[in-house]
């Protein structure tokens, strides 16, 4: 069976930094993710951050009812951005 994916076209701007139990994580929160995905479980998506592709990236629950996407140090360096900076996120597909 070939790799298939469910198409998504959800673009938003978000600041880097999500409060998780009193600590700021270098993630962006996906607004409306519960409605968008119908689940609060971890899922995988293909996305871009400021145009840089992220394939099969994991979205994790924030603990407050939304999902978040982690931005590792290598990606943040490519973006030249850190906590508090705003990025444009485009969710494109969900591998199935």
81/78 Cα distance (integer angstroms): 8
When pLDDT is cut at 50, 70 and 90, the band that residue 17 belongs to is: very high
Percent residues over pLDDT 90 in the chain: 66
Predicted local distance difference test score (pLDDT) of residue 24: 95
Residue scoring higher pLDDT (50 or 32): 50
Number of domains in the chain: 1
Domain that holds residue 45: 5-95
Is the confidence at residue 84, as pLDDT, over 50?
Answer: yes
CATH number at residue 14: 2.40.30.100
Q: What is the mean pLDDT of the chain?
A: 90
**pLDDT above 70 for 4:** no
pLDDT number for residue 1: 40
Q: How far is CA 21 from the centre of its chain?
A: 19
pTM over 0.85: yes
The pLDDT of residue 3 is above 60: no
């Amino acid at each position: 069976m070939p790799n298939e994916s469910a198409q998504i076209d959800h673009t938003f701007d978000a600041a880097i930094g999500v409060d998780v139990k009193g600590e700021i994580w270098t993630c962006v929160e996906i607004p409306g993710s519960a409605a968008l995905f119908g689940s609060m479980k971890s899922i995988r998506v293909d996305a871009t951050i400021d145009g840089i592709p992220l394939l099969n990236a994991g979205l994790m629950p924030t603990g407050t009812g939304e999902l978040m996407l982690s931005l590792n140090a290598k990606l943040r360096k490519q973006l030249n951005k850190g906590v508090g900076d705003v990025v444009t996120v485009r969710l494109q597909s969900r591998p199935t």
